[in-house]
A and B are shown apart, each in its own frame.
Chain A
Amino acid sequence: MTGEVAVLGAGMHPWGKWGRGFVEYGTRAAREALADAGLEWGAVQSVVGADTVRGGYPGYVAGATFARALGSQGTRVTSVYAACASGAQAIDTARAQILAGMAEVVLVVGADAAPKGFFAPAGGDRPDDPDWLRFRVLGATNPAYFALYARRRMALYGDTVDDFAQVKVKNSAAGAANPYARYRRRVTTREVAASPVVADPLRLLDICATSDGGAALVLSSMDAARRHGVADPVRIRAVAAVTPRYPRTELDLPDIASDSAAAVAEPAAGFRASLAQGAYEEAGIGPEDLSLAEVYDLSTALELEWYEDLGLCGTGEAAKLLRDGATALGGRLPVNASGGLASFGEAVPAQAVAQVCELTWQLRGRAGERQVPDARVGVTANQGLFGHGSAVVAVR
Chain B
Amino acid sequence: MPRIRKPVVPGWFTQDTGDFRLLGTRCRSCGSVFFPREDVFCRNPGCAGDDLEEVPLSRHGTVWSYTDGRYRPPAPYVSDPDTEWRPYTLVAVELVAERMVVLGQAAPGVGVADLAVGAEVELVPGILNEDAEHTWTTWHWRPVTTAPGPETTA
| Residue A149 is within 8 A (CB to CB) of chain B in the complex | yes
How far, in whole Å, are A259 and B47 apart by their CA atoms in the complex? 15
| Residue A298 is within 8 A (CB to CB) of chain B in the complex | no
| Residue B116 is within 8 A (CB to CB) of chain A in the complex | yes
Which chain B residues (32-56) contact chain A, with CB distance < 8 Å? Answer: 32-36, 43-46
Looking at the complex, which one of B9, B45, B78, B102 makes contact with A257 (CB distance below 8 Å)? B102
Which residue of chain B lies nearest to A258 when distances are taken between CB atoms in the complex? B101
Distance of B1 from chain A, by nearest CB (Å): 24
- How many interface contacts (CB-CB < 8 Å) are there between A and B? 143
A155-B65, A246-B43, A263-B30 known; A140+B99 contact, CB < 8 A:
no
| Residue A147 is within 8 A (CB to CB) of chain B in the complex | yes
B44 cross-chain contacts in A, Cβ below 8 A: 246-247, 263-264
Whether the pair A260, B103 counts as a contact (CB closer than 8 A) is no
Looking at the complex, which one of A151, A200, A249 makes contact with B117 (CB distance below 8 Å)? A151
Which residue of chain A lies nearest to B68 when distances are taken between CB atoms in the complex? A200
Whether the pair A155, B116 counts as a contact (CB closer than 8 A) is yes
| Residue B20 is within 8 A (CB to CB) of chain A in the complex | no
A127 cross-chain contacts in B, Cβ below 8 A: 9
Whether the pair A259, B43 counts as a contact (CB closer than 8 A) is yes
Which residue of chain B lies nearest to A154 when distances are taken between CB atoms in the complex? B117
B76 cross-chain contacts in A, Cβ below 8 A: 121, 125, 132, 135-136
| Residue A99 is within 8 A (CB to CB) of chain B in the complex | no
| Residue A1 is within 8 A (CB to CB) of chain B in the complex | no
A141-B73, A152-B117 known; A262+B99 contact, CB < 8 A:
yes
Whether the pair B64, A152 counts as a contact (CB closer than 8 A) is yes
Which residue of chain A lies nearest to B46 when distances are taken between CB atoms in the complex? A264
Looking at the complex, which one of B8, B30, B34, B92 makes contact with A137 (CB distance below 8 Å)? B8
B105 cross-chain contacts in A, Cβ below 8 A: 138-139
In the complex, how many residues of chain A place their beta carbon closer than 8 angstroms to a beta carbon of chain B? 48
Which residue of chain A lies nearest to B45 when distances are taken between CB atoms in the complex? A246
B78 cross-chain contacts in A, Cβ below 8 A: 136
| Residue A197 is within 8 A (CB to CB) of chain B in the complex | yes
How far, in whole Å, are A263 and B33 apart by their CA atoms in the complex? 8
B16 cross-chain contacts in A, Cβ below 8 A: none
Whether the pair B33, A260 counts as a contact (CB closer than 8 A) is yes
Distance of B50 from chain A, by nearest CB (Å): 15
Whether the pair A200, B138 counts as a contact (CB closer than 8 A) is no
How far, in whole Å, are A20 and B67 apart by their CA atoms in the complex? 35
A117-B74, A246-B44, A263-B30 known; A152+B65 contact, CB < 8 A:
yes
| Residue A144 is within 8 A (CB to CB) of chain B in the complex | yes
Binary A-proximity of B64-104 (CB < 8 A = 1, otherwise 0)? 11111111011111110000000010101000011111111
B99 cross-chain contacts in A, Cβ below 8 A: 249, 260-262
A148-B92, A198-B71, A257-B36 known; A263+B31 contact, CB < 8 A:
yes
| Residue A156 is within 8 A (CB to CB) of chain B in the complex | yes
Whether the pair B36, A133 counts as a contact (CB closer than 8 A) is yes
Binary B-proximity of A144-170 (CB < 8 A = 1, otherwise 0)? 100111111001100000000000000
| Residue B27 is within 8 A (CB to CB) of chain A in the complex | yes
Whether the pair A251, B34 counts as a contact (CB closer than 8 A) is no
Whether the pair A120, B75 counts as a contact (CB closer than 8 A) is yes
Whether the pair B101, A138 counts as a contact (CB closer than 8 A) is no
How far, in whole Å, are A41 and B63 apart by their CA atoms in the complex? 56
A246-B43, A246-B44, A256-B36 known; A198+B30 contact, CB < 8 A:
no
| Residue A57 is within 8 A (CB to CB) of chain B in the complex | no
Which residue of chain B lies nearest to A201 when distances are taken between CB atoms in the complex? B67
Which residue of chain A lies nearest to B10 when distances are taken between CB atoms in the complex? A127
Which residue of chain A lies nearest to B70 when distances are taken between CB atoms in the complex? A197
| Residue B124 is within 8 A (CB to CB) of chain A in the complex | no
| Residue B148 is within 8 A (CB to CB) of chain A in the complex | no
Whether the pair B69, A149 counts as a contact (CB closer than 8 A) is no
A144 cross-chain contacts in B, Cβ below 8 A: 67, 69, 90
Distance of A15 from chain B, by nearest CB (Å): 22
Which residue of chain B lies nearest to A250 when distances are taken between CB atoms in the complex? B101
- Assuming A117-B74, A148-B90, A260-B34, what are 4 further A-B pairs, CB within 8 angstroms? A198-B71, A247-B100, A262-B31, A264-B44
Interchain residue pairs with CB less than 8 A apart (7): A135-B73, A138-B104, A138-B105, A148-B67, A199-B70, A260-B34, A263-B32
Interface of B toward A, CB cutoff 8 Å = 8-9, 27, 30-36, 43-46, 64-71, 73-79, 88, 90, 92, 97-105, 112, 116-118, 128, 138
Chain A to chain B: the 4 pairs with minimum beta-carbon distance, closest first = A155-B117, A147-B67, A120-B74, A139-B73
